[in-house]
Structure 1
Amino acid sequence: MADRAAGAMSLPDDWPAHPDLRLSLNHMGTFDWDLDNGLLHLDQSALDVFDVTAEEFDGRPQSLALRVPHGEAARLDGLVTQALRSGSSSYGAYFRIRCRDGSLRWTHTQGAVRRDVRGRPHRIIGIVRDATQELADSSARIELDAERRRQTSVVESTTAALAHARTVQDVIDVLKDSHGLERLGATSMVMGLLEAGRIHLVAEGPEGSFVPGTRYTRVDEQYPMSEVIRTLAPRFIESKEDFAESYPRLWPHVRGLGITSAAYMPLIAQARPIGALGLLYSDKTGFTSEERNLLVALGSSIAQSLQRAVLFEQEHDLAEGLQQAMLPRRIPSVPGAQIAVRYRSARLGRDIGGDWYDVIPLPGGRVGAVIGDVQGHDTHAAAVMGQLRIVLRAYAAEGHTPATVMARASVFLHELDTDRFATCVYAEADPTTGVVQVVRAGHMDPLRLGADGETRRVTVSGGMPLGLSAEFGRLEYPVATIELDPGETLLLYTDGLVERPGTDLDDGLRALTGLIRNGPRNLQLLADRLCEESDERAGEDDVALLLLRRHGVAAAHAGGRLQQHVAQNDPEALASARHMIWAAVRAWGAAERADEIELAADELITNALMHTDGGAIVTARVLPGVERRLRVEVEDRSTALPRRRDAGESGVSGRGLMLVDRLADIWGVESRGSGKCVWCEFAVSDPVAAERAPA
C-alpha cells in the first residue's frame, strides 16, 4: 500500500487532463445547438475540425455552408430531421467538409437530443471529429474511391466519344451531348480556337451568356482563355471573389449567371497551343487535386480530338476545292433545252471522290451530256477525273460518234499512269429533233422523266468501265437511241444519289423515283431537292447529277431532220440525195432560195465523192431560233480539209467552194473524228409567221 501511495505522489500536476485537452489532442470538438434560437456554439477544437476561424463563424449553422458541400449538407440535414421527428435520443453521421485548400476531408458527428417534458426537441449537444484515418479502410473510403472511378469514367467515356468526332462542331456536340460535363458538375462550357494570333470563340456557355466583343480576342488580353494560352498552364478560379479580382472586364458579364468557380485549360497538341477550354460551375468553390488532375486529362484528350478535327476540315476543304476547280465553271446555254447540274461532296470520309459532270456544245445545235465517276475517294481520284473530263470533252468536240468518244477515253485512261478505272454515261442530244444517242461504260442507266413526273429507266446495253475495256480489248460500246418528247427530261447521275446504307440499289432507285414524282416541276428546284435528300442521308459517297429537259417547241418551227447515205459509184443514191434536198426545201418553206440551196448542196456532195475515199452522209435540217436557217451537212471519212481556190486553166475544177461561198449565207468545216463535215446555212422565212402576218 505504501508503494502505491508513493507512486501516486509522483503523478503530473495536470493529471487527469482536462476534457478540452483530451478532445483537442484527438482532433475532436464539441458543439451545443439551441434549436429554439437557432444558435450553434462551437468550441475551438470544433472550429479546427471545420477549418474555420472564430471570426468566420457567427453562431449560425448556415455559416458552415462554406465548408460543407451542398450535397453533404442536404444529406446531414435529412438525417438530423429524421432523428428529431422519430423521437430518437441521439444520432451519428459521417460527412465530408471542404478544407481551405479545396481538398475533401471525412468528418464524424455524434449528437444527443434533449427534449422537454412534452417530448419536443429543443437542444442538441454533441461532438465532431476528424474521421479521415478512421475511414481509410471503411465503406466510406470505398464510396470515395467509387466517386473517383465515376469521375475517371467520365473522362474515358468522353474520350471514346471524341474518337468518332470528325469536325470541330462534332467535338463541341460530343461535349454538350454526352452529359460528361454535367457528371463533372459543370454548368456549361466555352471553347476557343487559336487562329492567326487571335482566339476565336467557337462554343459559348449557357444560352444568352455571350459577352459582346469576345468572339475574337487577342492572346495578350486580360481574359482567362488568353492567360492559359500564354502560360500553357491551367487556371482554376475557385470563388466569385477570385473571378472578380482576376478578370474585372469579364466578371460583370458573368456575375448574373450564378457562376461561383471555373476551370480553364489550354488545349495543347504536339507541344503547341491550339485553343482553350473553360468549364463554368455553380454551387462549387475550390478544386481538389483529384479534380484538377482529372480536368487536365480531359483537356489533353479534347486537344487531340480537336487537332484531328481541324486537320480533317482543312484536308477536306483542300480536296473539295480541287474537285470544284476541275468541274466546269459554267454550263453553256443550249437552244431548245434546259440543263441543271449539281455536285455534292460526301459528308462522311476524309476525302472527296472522282465524280464529275460536263456539258459539251456540239455543232448543229447538238449537246453532249456527261456524268462519270473515277474509282476511289481521294485527291488522286479527283486529279484523274480532271484529266479524263478534258480528254472526253476534246474527243466529243472533235465530232467523234458517242461510241468512239467512249472507246478513245478508255484507251487514254488505260495509258495514263494510274491504276484507276472510271464509269461513265455519255449522251449526245439534238434538242431540235429530240433524238438522244446514249452510251454507257459500266455506269448506272439514265432515267427518263415524263412531263407528268412519271419516271422510266433507259435501258442501255453498255460496255466495260473506262480503262478496263481498253485493258481487256473490249472497246465496243453499243449505242441506244431514244427520242425525248417536248417537256421530257433525261437524268444522268452517280451512284451516291441512290445508294443507301443497308438497302439494295433497287430500293434506292424506287425512293428516287418517288422523290421525283412528288418533287417540283421546276428543273433547278428539282435538282436542289435531290441534293438535299442526299445531304440528309450524309452518305459516304459523292453525288453528281445532270438534268437535261427538252423544251416544247412547235414542229413547224423545229422543221425536221433528213439524212441520206451516198456511196461512191451509186448514181441512184446520188439522185435520191438530190431529191431529198429538193423535197426538204419545199416542205420547209424555203422555195424562194431553192436554186441556191440545191446548187450548193450538189457542189458539196460532188466534192466529197470526187476527192475522198468512201461515201458521204448528207443531212438537211432547219435550225430554230430568231432567224430560221436551213443547214446542209456533207460528212465524209477524209481528214483533209477543203480549201477554196481559183479555177484551173481548163475552167472545170476549183469552182465548187467558190460557188458555195457566194450562194450560202455562211459555211464552214468541222472535224468529225475520223473524218470531217462541210456545211452551209441559208436564212429562210418562217411559213407559220408568214401565215399569221396581216395581208
Structure 2
Amino acid sequence: MVERAASALSLPEDWPAHPDPILALNRMGSFDWDLDTGLLHMDAQAHEIFEVRPEEYDGRPETLTMRIPSPEGRRLDTLVAQAIKDGSENYGTYIRTRRRDGTLRWIHTQGYIRRDETGRPRRIIGIVRDATEELRDSIARSGQVETAQDEALRRQTNVVQITTAALAHARTVQDVIDVLKHSHGLTHLGATSLVMGLVEAGRIRLVAEGPEGSFVPGTLVTRIDEQYPMSEAVRTLSPQFIESPQEFAERYPILWPHLTDLRITSAAYLPLIVQARPIGALGLLYDDRRGFTPEERNVLVALGSSIAQSLQRAMFYEQEKDLAQGLQQAMLPRSIPSVPGADVAVRYRAGGAGGSLGLDIGGDWYDLIPLPGGRVGAVIGDVQGHDPHAAAVMGQLRIVLRAYAAEGHTPAAVMARASVFLKELDTDRFATCLYAEADLSTGVVQLVRAGHVDPLLRRSDGECRRLRVEGGLPLGLSAEFGRIEYPVTTVELDPGQTLVLCTDGLIEEPGADLDEGVHTLRDLVCTGPDDVDDLADKLIDVAEERGGDDDVALLLLQRRSLAQRSGGRLQQHVGLGDPEALISARHMIRAAVRAWGAGERSDEIELVADELITNVLMHTEGSAVVTLRGMTGHDRRLRVEVEDSSSALPRRREAGESGVSGRGLLLVDRLADVWGVEARGGGKVVWCEFMVGQRG
C-alpha cells in the first residue's frame, strides 16, 4: 500500500532522510514525514520504540493510533498543527504510548519542520526516544504513581482502543452492532448490558440490546420528548451519567422498574453525534460501580464519538449501495419474457467496492429478445469500468442491441451496428459482448462474439464443453479501428442442452489465469443440477462465496424437447455486397437441413437456395431475405423462401453461349419437388419445397 501511495504522489528526491548512526547508538529513532503524500517513514529504532513490527506498519500516521492513546494523539496533533501554523521551525513534547502488553510508557519526540521557498511546510524530520526512565523519578516525587484507579482506566481505555480498531472494518450498520455486541464485548468495560437506538423520523428505534433477555418492553420505539435516558441524550446532545440507583429511579421513573432485576448501580447514555446532528444513542449499564471519574467520562465520550463516526460511515455505505443496486436494476430488464420451447434463468451479482465507499455500479448486463418465427436473441455483455458512467453506457447499449435485433438484422450486423453506436457516443469506454440468436424449433444457434469470454454448452447427460466462437474486437474498438466484420459461428442446440453465457466476473479468480477459471466453471456446470434455475443459483452462490470486486451477469438458455411442428422457421437477411451474410445464410441452411432430418437432400437444398439468393443479388441489385420453414402434414417438407423488393418475375430461359447464365430456374425446377412465385407488396417471393420424409 505504501508503494502505491508513494507512486501516486512525487516524493522529495532525498526522502526518507537517513539518520546519523549516532542516533541508534543512543537508542533514538528517527522519522521523516512527507506532508504532501502523508507518508511517515520510521527507521528500525523508531519501530522498536513504538513496538510496531514492520509488517504491521503501512507508512500512515493513523496506523500508530493502536500505540498512541486518543487523548495523547489529539494533544500531539494540536501541537504539530500549531507549530506549522505559527511558522515555527521545530517542536518537542512528551507523550504516553501503549506497549504491546497494554502498559504505558513515556516517549519524547522532537521534529524539525522543513518548508519550501514559499514558506509552505513540506516535511517534518525528527527523532523519538524512550523517556520513561527520565520521567520516572519526577513522576514518583510528584506523587503521580499509577493507582488502582489508573490501572482500571488503563484497561478500560485499552478495550476502547480495541473496539475502535474493530469498528474501522465495519461496513454496514449490522457490522457495527455486531462489533459492539460480540467483538471483544463491551462487557469488558464492566458493563452489564448495553442498548443502542437510532433516530428515525423524530423517534428512537432500538437496534441493539444485550445480553439476550434484557429487552425492556415498550422501548422498541420511543419518542425523543419522552422521559427516557436515550431520549434525553439525543434531545440535549450531551451524555447522561447516572451514578446511583436512587438517581436512576428519580430521573427515569418509567424505565427504572424494568431494570431492578439487573441490579443496575450506574449507567452512561452517550449521544451519537455526527456534524452536530444526533443519529442515535448508546447506553451502558453497570452493576458493580457507582459514579464515574472525569477520566472515565472522557474515555466513554471518546467511545461514543468513534461509534457515531462508524455508524455514519455504515449508513452512507448502505445508502449508496442501495442507490447503486437500484440504478443497476433499472438498467437491466425488468423481467425476462417467457419463451416457448426454452427454459431461461438469469442472475446478477454486484461486485464489492474493495472496502471503499462510493457508487458501486458495474456495466455488466444480460438480455433476452423474443424474435419472429420462434427465434430468440440472448445477450451478455460488460462495459469497461465500474462506475455510474459504465452503467449509463450499458443501459444505452442494451437498448440499441435490442432494437437492432428486433429490426431483423443478422447477428453479425447487430454487433457491427452496436459497435458503431458505441463509438459515436464519444465515450472512452468499450464493451465486450456475446450475442446468440437461436431458433428453438430447429435448435440452430448463430453466435457472434465481440471480445467476450466464450460460452459453454452443457449436454443433457451433464457433459460440458467450451464453445470456441470466432470473435472480433470489443464494441467501440472495432468501429474505432475500422474492423467491424464479425464472423458467425453456427452450432446446434439439441433438446435438453443448455447454453451458458456469463461475464468474466464468474470466471476470473485472484491468482488464476483465464483458462483455469473456465475449467473451474466447466466443472461446476457439469456437476450442477439439470434445472436451469437451480444451476443458476449454484453458480451465483459460488460467485458470492468467492467475493471479489467484479460484477457477475449470467444467462442460461435450455432448449426443451418439442415435437416437430409446422411453423418452425429460420430467417436470414443477405445484403448486397455483404459476403459475410451470404456465408452465414449458407451455414444456417446447412444446420437447419441437418436439424430437420433432411440430410439425404442437403446438397440439393443448399444448391437451390444458393441459386435463388445469387439470382436476387445479381439481377435486382437489392437484398434478399431467406426463410426456411419446417412443415408437417401427411408428410414432412422443408420450404425455402427467398424474398426481394423487385416486382419483375423470374423466367426460364436457355443458358447462353457461354453456358454460365440462365441455369438457375432450371436447377430449381429439376431439384425441388414443387416451386412457385408469389407477389408480396412491392416485391415477390420465390419458394420451393422438398419432401424430407413420411410423417411418423
- TM bucket by the smaller chain? 0.5 to 0.7
Matches within 5 A, 1:670-685: none
Match of 2:425 in 1: 416
SS at match of 2:373: helix
* 1:609-641 C-alpha deviation (Å, 9 max, x unpaired): 79831564543313799xx998764345x6x9x
Are 2:471 and 1:471 equivalent residues in the alignment? no
For residue 154 of structure 1, what is the aligned residue in structure 2? 159
Which residue does 2:373 correspond to in 1? 364
Which residue matches 2:526? 517
Matches within 5 A, 1:190-589: 190-349=195-354, 350=358, 351-555=360-564
Do the aligned partners of residues 374 and 561 (structure 1) sit closer, same or farther apart at CA in structure 2, a change above 3 Å counting? closer
Q: In the alignment, which of 630, 633, 638 is matched to residue 622 of structure 1?
A: 630
Q: CA deviation at 1:452?
A: 2.0
Change (3 A) 1:426 1:566: closer
**Does the 8 Å CA contact 2:572/2:627 hold for their aligned counterparts?**
yes
Query: Deviations 1:371-428 (Å, cap 9, x if unpaired)?
Result: 1111222222111111110011111111222122112111211221421221111111
Post-superposition offset of 1:485: 1.3
Structure 1 residues 298 and 562 mapped into 2: Cα distance closer, same or farther (>3 Å)? closer
Q: Distance in 2 between matches of 1:274 and 1:490?
A: 50
Query: In structure 2, what is the Cα distance between the partners aligned to 1:563 and 1:356?
Result: 26
The Cα offsets for residues 286-310 of structure 1, whole Å up to 9 and x where unpaired, read as 2111111001011111111111111
Q: CA deviation at 1:220?
A: 1.2
Letter in 2 for 1:474: R
Query: Deviation of residue 550 (structure 1)?
Result: 0.8
Instruction: List runs of 5+ in structure 1 lacking aligned partners.
Output: 1-132, 569-576, 590-600, 644-663, 671-675
The amino acid that maps onto 1:515 is L
Q: Contact 1:406 / 1:477 at 8 angstroms: preserved in 2? A: yes
Amino acid at match of 2:290: T
Aligned-partner Cα distance in 2 for 1:631–1:202: 69
- Cα shift at 1:454: 2.0
> Secondary structure of 2:146's partner?
helix
Cα 1:429–1:146 shift into 2, 3 Å: same
1:563 Cα offset (Å): 9.2
Residues 291-342 of structure 1 deviation map (CA, whole Å, 9 limit, x = unaligned): 1100101111111111111111111111211111111112122221111111
Q: Given residue 642 of structure 2, which amino acid in structure 1 is its aligned partner? A: V
Give CA deviations for 1:15-53 in whole Å, capped at 9, x if unaligned: xxxxxxxxxxxxxxxxxxxxxxxxxxxxxxxxxxxxxxx
AA paired with 2:434? V
Partner of 1:114: none
Aligned 8 A contact 1:161 1:174 in 2: yes
Q: Name the amino acid aligned to 1:396.
A: A
**Percentage identity across aligned positions?**
68
- Deviations 1:569-608 (Å, cap 9, x if unpaired)? xxxxxxxx9xx9xxx9xx999xxxxxxxxxxx9xx99996
Q: What is the CA–CA distance in structure 2 between the aligned matches of 1:506 and 1:188, rounded to whole Å?
A: 54
Q: Retained in 1: the 8 A contact 2:242–2:267?
A: yes
The answer as to whether partners of 1:667 and 1:680 remain within 8 angstroms in 2 is no
Corresponding residue of 1:596 = none
2:433 maps to amino acid: C
Three-state SS of the structure 2 residue aligned to 1:341 is strand
Would the aligned equivalents of 1:239 and 1:286 in 2 still touch at CA under 8 Å?
yes
SS state at 1:284 partner: coil
Would the aligned equivalents of 1:515 and 1:530 in 2 still touch at CA under 8 Å? yes
Aligned-partner SS, 2:192:
strand
Q: Which amino acid aligns with 1:469?
A: S
Higher Cα Rg: structure 1 or 2? Answer: 1
C-alpha distance in 2 between matches for 1:332 and 1:484: 20
Q: Give secondary structure in 2 for the equivalent of 1:191.
A: strand
1-structure distance, mates of 2:397, 2:175: 36
The 3-state SS of whatever aligns with 1:204 is strand
Counterpart-to-counterpart distance in 2, 1:390 and 1:171: 41
What letter is aligned with 1:612? T
Equivalent residue, structure 2, for 1:597 = none
2:219 aligned counterpart, secondary structure: coil
**C-alpha deviations, 1:513-532, integer Å up to 9, x for none?**
33333332211122122222
2:510 and 2:549 mapped to 1: Cα distance?
9
* Residues 565 and 630 in structure 2, CA contact (< 8 A), matched pair in contact too: no
Question: Residues 343 and 274 of structure 1: is their aligned pair in 2 closer, same or farther, counting only changes over 3 Å?
Answer: same
**Aligned equivalents of 1:323, 1:134: Cα separation in 2:** 62
Amino acid at match of 1:420: R
> Counterpart of 1:295 in 2: which secondary structure?
helix
Take 1:258 and 1:477, find their aligned partners in 2: how far apart are those partners?
78
Partner secondary structure for residue 278 of structure 2: strand
Q: Does the 8 Å CA contact 1:669/1:678 hold for their aligned counterparts?
A: no
Q: Which amino acid aligns with 2:229?
A: P
Q: Distance in 2 between matches of 1:346 and 1:294?
A: 38
Q: Is the CA contact 2:410–2:572 (under 8 Å) kept in the aligned structure 1?
A: no
Amino acid of the residue matched to residue 191 of structure 2?
A
Q: Return the offset for 1:539.
A: 2.6
Greater shift after overlay, 162-171 or 256-265?
A: 256-265
* Deviation, structure 1 residue 555: 4.5
How far apart, CA to CA, are the structure 1 residues paired with 2:573 and 2:257?
88
**Tell me, what secondary structure is at the counterpart of 2:472?**
coil
Give, in whole Å, the separation in 1 of the partners of 2:506 and 2:630: 38
* Distance 1:567-1:277 versus aligned 2 partners, 3 A rule: closer
Q: How does 1:78-117 map to 2 (within 5 A)?
A: none
* TM-score with structure 1 setting the length: 0.64
**Shift of residue 487 of structure 1?**
0.4
Question: For structure 2, which runs of at least 5 residues remain unmatched after alignment?
Answer: 1-137, 578-585, 599-608, 649-675
Check whether the contact 2:197–2:281 (CA below 8 A) recurs between aligned residues.
yes
Partner of 2:80: none
Matched residue count: 497
* CA pair 514-200 structure 1, distance change in 2 beyond 3 A: farther
Distance 1:467 1:247 in 2: 68
How far does the alpha carbon of each residue in 1:446-487 deviate from its partner, in whole angstroms, 9 at most, with x for none?
Answer: 111111222211112212221222222222322222111110
Number of the residue aligned with 2:642 = 634
Q: Is contact 1:155-1:180 (8 Å) kept?
A: no
The within-5 A match list for 1:637-648 is: none
Q: Is the 8 A contact 2:373 2:570 kept in 1?
A: no
- Change over 3 Å in CA distance of 1:262–1:138 after alignment to 2: same
Write the distance in 2 (CA, Å) between the matches of 1:606 and 1:480: 22
| Whole-Å separation in 2 of the counterparts to 1:225 and 1:164 | 26
